[in-house]
Amino acid sequence: MIDKIRYVYFFMKGKYELINNHFIDAFHYFNKALNYKDKDYELYIYKGLNEFMLRKFENSLISYQYALQLLESTRNLNEDEKNYLKIYIFKDILNLFKILKIENKNLYIYKILYKNLKYDRKNIRNRFFYDFPIEEV
Protein backbone atom coordinates (compact mmCIF):
# COMPACT_ATOMS: atom_id res chain seq x y z
CA MET A 1 0.00 0.00 0.00
CA ILE A 2 2.82 2.40 0.88
CA ASP A 3 4.50 1.68 -2.46
CA LYS A 4 1.33 2.63 -4.36
CA ILE A 5 1.07 5.89 -2.41
CA ARG A 6 4.71 6.70 -3.14
CA TYR A 7 4.25 5.84 -6.80
CA VAL A 8 1.22 8.12 -7.13
CA TYR A 9 3.06 10.91 -5.28
CA PHE A 10 6.15 10.76 -7.50
CA PHE A 11 4.10 10.32 -10.68
CA MET A 12 1.82 13.29 -9.93
CA LYS A 13 4.75 15.42 -8.76
CA GLY A 14 6.62 14.62 -11.99
CA LYS A 15 3.55 15.46 -14.05
CA TYR A 16 3.17 18.77 -12.17
CA GLU A 17 6.82 19.67 -12.77
CA LEU A 18 6.51 18.75 -16.46
CA ILE A 19 3.46 20.99 -16.86
CA ASN A 20 5.38 23.84 -15.20
CA ASN A 21 8.37 23.33 -17.53
CA HIS A 22 10.70 22.13 -14.76
CA PHE A 23 12.01 19.27 -16.86
CA ILE A 24 14.97 18.22 -14.73
CA ASP A 25 12.81 17.98 -11.61
CA ALA A 26 10.16 16.06 -13.55
CA PHE A 27 12.84 13.67 -14.82
CA HIS A 28 13.92 12.87 -11.25
CA TYR A 29 10.34 12.33 -10.05
CA PHE A 30 9.48 10.04 -12.97
CA ASN A 31 12.60 7.98 -12.31
CA LYS A 32 11.67 7.72 -8.63
CA ALA A 33 8.19 6.56 -9.64
CA LEU A 34 9.78 3.77 -11.69
CA ASN A 35 11.17 2.31 -8.46
CA TYR A 36 7.64 1.58 -7.28
CA LYS A 37 5.76 0.62 -10.43
CA ASP A 38 7.19 0.06 -13.88
CA LYS A 39 4.16 -1.29 -15.72
CA ASP A 40 2.24 1.92 -16.39
CA TYR A 41 1.92 3.19 -19.96
CA GLU A 42 1.12 6.75 -18.78
CA LEU A 43 4.35 6.99 -16.82
CA TYR A 44 6.35 6.05 -19.91
CA ILE A 45 4.44 8.46 -22.14
CA TYR A 46 5.16 11.35 -19.79
CA LYS A 47 8.73 10.14 -19.27
CA GLY A 48 9.22 10.05 -23.05
CA LEU A 49 7.85 13.56 -23.44
CA ASN A 50 10.04 14.82 -20.61
CA GLU A 51 13.16 13.19 -22.06
CA PHE A 52 12.30 14.76 -25.41
CA MET A 53 12.17 18.20 -23.76
CA LEU A 54 15.56 17.49 -22.14
CA ARG A 55 16.91 16.56 -25.59
CA LYS A 56 17.57 12.95 -24.56
CA PHE A 57 16.12 11.76 -27.82
CA GLU A 58 17.33 8.15 -27.73
CA ASN A 59 15.94 7.68 -24.22
CA SER A 60 12.70 9.31 -25.29
CA LEU A 61 12.35 6.89 -28.19
CA ILE A 62 12.92 3.93 -25.85
CA SER A 63 10.33 5.22 -23.37
CA TYR A 64 7.73 5.74 -26.10
CA GLN A 65 8.35 2.28 -27.55
CA TYR A 66 7.99 0.73 -24.10
CA ALA A 67 4.76 2.70 -23.57
CA LEU A 68 3.43 1.14 -26.80
CA GLN A 69 4.22 -2.34 -25.50
CA LEU A 70 2.48 -1.65 -22.20
CA LEU A 71 -0.47 -0.11 -24.00
CA GLU A 72 -1.03 -3.33 -25.94
CA SER A 73 -1.28 -5.37 -22.74
CA THR A 74 -3.52 -2.89 -20.88
CA ARG A 75 -7.01 -4.21 -20.28
CA ASN A 76 -8.63 -1.15 -18.71
CA LEU A 77 -8.82 0.80 -21.99
CA ASN A 78 -11.21 0.26 -24.87
CA GLU A 79 -9.94 -0.05 -28.44
CA ASP A 80 -10.67 3.58 -29.34
CA GLU A 81 -8.70 4.85 -26.34
CA LYS A 82 -5.79 2.58 -27.24
CA ASN A 83 -5.83 3.82 -30.83
CA TYR A 84 -5.98 7.44 -29.69
CA LEU A 85 -2.94 6.96 -27.43
CA LYS A 86 -1.09 5.09 -30.18
CA ILE A 87 -1.63 8.01 -32.54
CA TYR A 88 -0.26 10.36 -29.86
CA ILE A 89 2.80 8.16 -29.36
CA PHE A 90 3.40 7.47 -33.09
CA LYS A 91 3.33 11.21 -33.82
CA ASP A 92 6.17 11.75 -31.36
CA ILE A 93 8.08 8.65 -32.47
CA LEU A 94 7.98 9.81 -36.10
CA ASN A 95 9.32 13.20 -35.01
CA LEU A 96 12.11 11.48 -33.08
CA PHE A 97 13.03 9.43 -36.16
CA LYS A 98 13.35 12.69 -38.11
CA ILE A 99 15.48 14.32 -35.40
CA LEU A 100 17.75 11.28 -35.02
CA LYS A 101 17.84 10.81 -38.82
CA ILE A 102 16.83 7.17 -38.51
CA GLU A 103 15.77 5.53 -41.75
CA ASN A 104 14.89 1.89 -41.29
CA LYS A 105 11.96 -0.45 -41.69
CA ASN A 106 10.53 0.61 -38.32
CA LEU A 107 10.03 4.13 -39.66
CA TYR A 108 7.88 2.84 -42.49
CA ILE A 109 5.97 0.48 -40.21
CA TYR A 110 5.20 3.34 -37.82
CA LYS A 111 4.08 5.56 -40.70
CA ILE A 112 1.70 2.88 -41.99
CA LEU A 113 0.32 2.15 -38.53
CA TYR A 114 -0.05 5.86 -37.82
CA LYS A 115 -2.09 6.46 -40.95
CA ASN A 116 -4.31 3.39 -40.48
CA LEU A 117 -5.36 4.01 -36.87
CA LYS A 118 -8.90 5.26 -36.39
CA TYR A 119 -10.90 6.07 -33.29
CA ASP A 120 -14.38 7.20 -32.38
CA ARG A 121 -14.21 10.35 -30.29
CA LYS A 122 -17.39 9.43 -28.40
CA ASN A 123 -15.76 6.33 -26.91
CA ILE A 124 -12.80 8.19 -25.40
CA ARG A 125 -12.76 9.64 -21.91
CA ASN A 126 -12.30 13.42 -21.87
CA ARG A 127 -9.14 13.29 -19.77
CA PHE A 128 -7.24 11.80 -22.71
CA PHE A 129 -7.97 14.86 -24.83
CA TYR A 130 -6.48 17.12 -22.16
CA ASP A 131 -3.59 14.92 -21.02
CA PHE A 132 -2.55 13.78 -24.51
CA PRO A 133 -3.73 16.38 -27.05
CA ILE A 134 -3.49 15.49 -30.72
CA GLU A 135 -6.35 17.67 -31.89
CA GLU A 136 -8.14 20.78 -30.76
CA VAL A 137 -10.79 20.19 -28.14
Alpha-carbon distance of 79 to 25, in angstroms, equals 34
Confirm whether 49 is domain-assigned. no
Its domain, for residue 73, covers 63-137
Query: How far is the C-alpha of 124 from the C-alpha of 86, rounded, in Å?
Result: 13
Q: Are 57 and 40 in contact (CB under 8 A)?
A: no
Within-domain flag for 50: no
45 is a domain residue: no
Structural domains of the chain, count: 1
d(CA 106, CA 108): 5
The answer to the question of residue 116 being in a domain is yes
Q: Tens digit of pLDDT for each residue in 78-128?
A: 999 999 999 999 889 888 888 888 777 777 777 887 788 899 999 999 999
pTM more than 0.85:
yes
How far apart are alpha carbons 72 and 81 in whole angstroms? 11
Q: Is residue 79 part of a domain?
A: yes
Residue 68 lies inside a defined structural domain of this protein: yes
Q: Is residue 77 part of a domain?
A: yes
